[in-house]
Every structure is written in C-alpha cells, then in structure tokens.
Structure 1
Amino acid sequence: MDGTPEEITTLVGREVYSNNGVFVGEVDDVRLDLNEIAVTGLALGGINDELFGKRIQGGRGVIIPYRWVRAVGDVILVNDVVERLKQSEDGEEEAVV
C-alpha cells in the first residue's frame, strides 16, 4: 500500500491468512465503531474448518478483532492467535486472546 486511504468496502472479499501462512477465512463484512470512526473487527465466512471446526457450527462465521491484523494488501495477514486457538483444543498450548 502506498499510504493512500482506501474504502472500507475494499476489505470485503479479501482472504485472511495467519502470519504463518495458514488460511483463516474470507472477509464477509466489517465491524465499525461509529463513535471512534474505526474498524474494530472483521467478520469472516468460508472459515478454515481445521482451525474452528469444534468451536463453530457449520455454515457460521467468526468475527476477529481488528487488533489481530498485521498487514492489509492483496490478502490480510493476522497474528497467529487463531492457530493458538486450534492448538489449545488439541491440548498443546493455552490460547492467548
């Protein structure tokens, strides 16, 4: 990005990956705080069942906090927190949210 502001609607449809390269989902909508005039979350659909399978019923999405976003470009990169959620299900590591 060249620093030029973009329309919020350009986020919709972008794929979201963890910074480890794991597909998380696709942006369906954006959560806004109108008082602060800021994006506060991304509503994802088409989510990765391996990451969210036991936590989310089929056909549903998730909203991830915008503070997890590390970079926005052709795709959106988020912290690996979502992968830690999967690991905590498997008993390997505690989730940090």
Structure 2
Amino acid sequence: MDGTPQEITNLVGREVYSNNGIFVGEVEDVRLNVDACAVSGVALGELNRELFSDVVDTENGVMVPYRWVRAVGDVVLINDTIERLQQPDDEDETVPA
C-alpha cells in the first residue's frame, strides 16, 4: 500500500484470500479501535465452507484480527493462519499414558 489514506468503507465487499491463494470470505464490516483511530478487525461473511465447516456455522461470519491482513488492493490478503484451522497440530495431540 502506498500510505495514502483510504475510506474504510472501501474494504466492504472485497474478497479475502489467504496469502496462499485460498478464498476465505468477503468483507462485510470492519471493527474500529476508536482510541487508536485504527481498524482492529475485519468481519467476514460468505465464508469458504471447506475452511470453516468444522469451526463455525457458515451462515454466521467470523472476525479476523486486522494484524493478519498483509495487503489490501482489489482483494484483501491475509496470513495463512485461517488454513491452519483444518490441519491438526501434531504437537497438541495428547499421548495416552
């Protein structure tokens, strides 16, 4: 981004993709931190059912922390953290005693 201030309403309606190119959802709203005069989160709807079917009801949305946003242009790119929801973390699995 070139640092030029933009209207936050420009985010609404943009498609959101992971930095690996996976469709995540569509921006429906933004959460603002009024004290810091900054966007603190992005509310997503029209979710990718494959990514979220085990986590949330896809008729609802999810809130993504704005710190996950990597780039905003014609689309919004976020970290691949969302994709990790599908992959169990081997380190977190408990081993039977």
Q: Which runs of 4+ in 1 moved over 4 A?
A: 91-94
Aligned residues: 92
- Give 5+ residue unaligned stretches, structure 1: none
In structure 2, the partner of 1:34 is 34
Kindly report the root-mean-square deviation, in angstroms, between the aligned alpha carbons of the 2 structures. 1.6
In structure 1, the partner of 2:47 is 47
Partner SS, residue 54 of structure 2? coil
| Structure 1 residues 1-97: aligned runs within 5 Å | 1-88=1-88
- Pick the structure with greater CA Rg: 2
Q: 1:11-62: per-residue Cα shift (whole Å, max 9, x none)?
A: 0000000000000000000000101111000000000011111111131000
- How many percent identity over aligned positions? 64
Contact 2:47/2:58, CA 8 A, preserved across alignment: no
Paired letter, 1:73: G
**CA distance in structure 2 between the aligned counterparts of 1:45 and 1:67, rounded to whole angstroms:** 18
- TM (normalized to structure 1)? 0.87
- TM (normalized to structure 2)? 0.87
Q: 1:93 to 1:14 in 2, by over 3 A?
A: farther
**CA distance in structure 1 between the aligned counterparts of 2:91 and 2:46, rounded to whole angstroms:** 25
Between stretches 71-80 and 52-61, larger displacement belongs to: 52-61
Contact 1:84/1:93, CA 8 A, preserved across alignment: no
